[in-house]
């Protein structure tokens, strides 16, 4: 399983969103570029970045993200505010390893499938789930799609994976439930990356036993020091212990 240390960028700073609210970011007083370098130094294979300004439609962090891509030393998976083909292709040309698409997939699934065809293994589908529905527009709009049906519509597209965010778990200060992610992972042939469930090292160990989970995004827990990246990478890479069978 791959751990994706995660930067959420807002007005040039590393942040975390409190209960998903774009207007109330928690600011972490670290240098984003140096932090990205630190991910690579710790042994991360990939990192994830989300442009919160682009997601909210009030600007972007393009210059900073380009600097991170050049400096990180590992491939960058980028999400936040992709609404058209031009933005996707521009960032691929700038060297982003993967593009994460959510709202556009709900609005124009055929375009996302086409992008995946032309950029195989570089397009990641984002599925944000709240109370049984897929959410769009940065968690602000409830769609008419059920998660399992939504992911099945993309089974034939050559996606790099599907990021599943359990918003119910992410916004509560409780241990993340694996029920939503387990259900979606069982409904798709694509590898699934979990988001919103990691609060401690034990959560990484638990995720390894969920079929079809290939990775986890870890952001807030790294900055709050509830998770040590080196330890997380070691747990993710370790061989799973055998599970006793039942007779």
Residues forming the active site: 8, 128
Supply φ then ψ for residue 15, to 5 degrees.
-135, 170
Residue 210: Cβ-neighbour burial (10 angstroms; 0-12, 13-18, 19+): middle
Helix pair angle (109-118, 85-93), 10° resolution: 20
DSSP 123: E
**What would the two tokens of residue 173 be?**
């200060």
The answer to whether 1 and 213 have CB atoms below 8 angstroms apart is: yes
Supply φ then ψ for residue 121, to 5 degrees.
65, 20
Supply φ then ψ for residue 53, to 5 degrees.
-60, -45
Considering just the CA atoms, what is the radius of gyration of the chain in Å?
17
Q: What is the largest CA-CA distance in the chain?
A: 59
């Amino acid at each position: 399983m791959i751990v994706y240390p995660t930067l959420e960028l807002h007005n040039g700073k590393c942040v975390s969103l409190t209960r998903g609210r774009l207007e109330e970011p928690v600011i972490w007083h670290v240098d984003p570029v140096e932090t990205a370098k630190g991910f690579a130094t710790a042994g991360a294979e990939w990192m994830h970045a989300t442009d919160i300004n682009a997601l909210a439609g009030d600007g972007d962090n393009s210059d900073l993200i380009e600097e991170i891509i050049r400096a990180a030393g590992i491939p960058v998976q980028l999400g936040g505010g992709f609404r058209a083909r031009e933005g996707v292709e521009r960032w691929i040309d700038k060297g982003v390893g993967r593009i994460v698409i959510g709202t556009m997939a709900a609005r124009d699934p055929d375009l996302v499938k086409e992008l995946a065809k032309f950029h195989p293994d570089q397009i990641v589908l984002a599925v944000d789930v709240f109370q049984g529905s897929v959410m769009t527009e940065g968690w602000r709009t409830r769609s008419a799609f059920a998660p399992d049906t939504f992911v099945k519509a993309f089974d034939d597209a050559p996606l790099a994976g599907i990021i599943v965010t359990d918003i119910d778990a992410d916004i509560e200060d409780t241990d993340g439930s694996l029920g939503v992610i387990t259900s979606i992972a069982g409904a798709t042939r694509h590898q699934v990356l979990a988001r919103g469930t990691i609060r401690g090292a034990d959560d990484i160990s638990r995720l390894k036993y969920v079929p079809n989970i290939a990775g986890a995004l870890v952001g807030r827990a790294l900055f709050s020091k509830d998770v040590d990246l080196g330890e997380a990478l070691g747990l993710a890479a370790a061989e799973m212990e055998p599970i006793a069978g039942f007779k």
